Amino acid sequence: MHRSGTAMAWNVFKFCTALRGVGSIMILLVLGVVGVTYYAVVLTNYGPALSQGGFDSFTALTILLLFHFLLAMLLWSYFSVVFTDPGSVPPNWRPSTDEERGESDPLNSLEFDNSNPRVRFCRKCNQPKPPRCHHCSVCGRCVLKMDHHCVWVVNCVGALNYKYFLLFLFYTFLETTLVTLVLMPHFIAFFSDEEIPGTPGTLATTFLAFVLNLAFALSVMGFLIMHISLVAGNTTTIEAYEKKTSGKWRYDLGRKKNFEQVFGMDKRYWFIPGYSEEDLRRMPELQGLEYPSKPDFDSQ
């Protein structure tokens, strides 16, 4: 039995190691889809329409401006998720003492992880874990307010890049929906009897771009709706899975404050992957190291 458990742990480790390699391929796949889409929308269909004059040129210009704006925001958000550390546990982090309850620092005890269930300890990292922190087997470390490990961005989604991940989903949904709508007439033309201008290569690229963007728009819409509901309740994907009761969630501060914990308080920064200076000063709270309402951590 012990031998079977050891084999299972080894297999899981190999799977997690493989995910690291897959991530780099996924970035190339994302850039490949962007390239195919750009070729179909800009170079094949609406770029040449700019020279036609009249209403067709105005329509093409409007579509191209909106397309490039959403594409820029999509890529900005995407690479912000890729290159932003999701949040690591500070090297000298220790649980704070709750003087009102008469509790001492549990780290003074050699068996703090067993004697005080309010304090969580990661045996893999050999360090205490802050509230809402989880160990990622793919990254091999603890991540603050971890939501999940995403192979599409070769990174964990946690406290410091969750906003960027949501913006990536948001702009991806808008961009793929726009591309689906503007390429739909060309897609329908494939099944009509009328003659379609263009080479077989450009027609195939347009067909492929429409199918890919339609598939991404539908799938991303589902993820976006799910994460909007998680933000509204101040819950992560892991926490939603681990919840055992239907009572009030201890971190739920109301929809407005829950939203501000992720996107910040400055409305000017809500739709860009960045934070104001004031929000940066609130970063310990955002990371899950401090909480305004001092929630209970006994079941974390």
* Maximum separation of any 2 CA atoms in the chain, in Å: 82
Single out the catalytic residue among 136, 139, 150, 156: 150
Q: What b-and-e string marks burial along 154-184, b requiring 16 or more CB atoms within 10 Å of the CB? A: bbbbbbbbbbbbbbbbbbbbbbbbbbbebbe
Strands (E), 144-203: 148-150, 155-157
What are the beta bridge partners of residue 128?
Answer: 121
Q: Please give the Cα distance from 3 to 6 (Å, whole number).
A: 5
One-letter identity of residue 216: F
Q: Residue 139 catalytic?
A: no
CB 266 within 8 A of CB 276: yes
What is the C-alpha to C-alpha distance for residues 241 and 217, in angstroms, rounded to an integer? 25
How far apart CA 237 and CA 169 sit, in angstroms, is: 15
Owner of token pair 């702009």: 171
Structure tokens at 273: 């992957």
Euclidean distance between CA atoms 151 and 288, whole angstroms: 24
SS3 150: strand
**Which residue numbers are catalytic?**
150
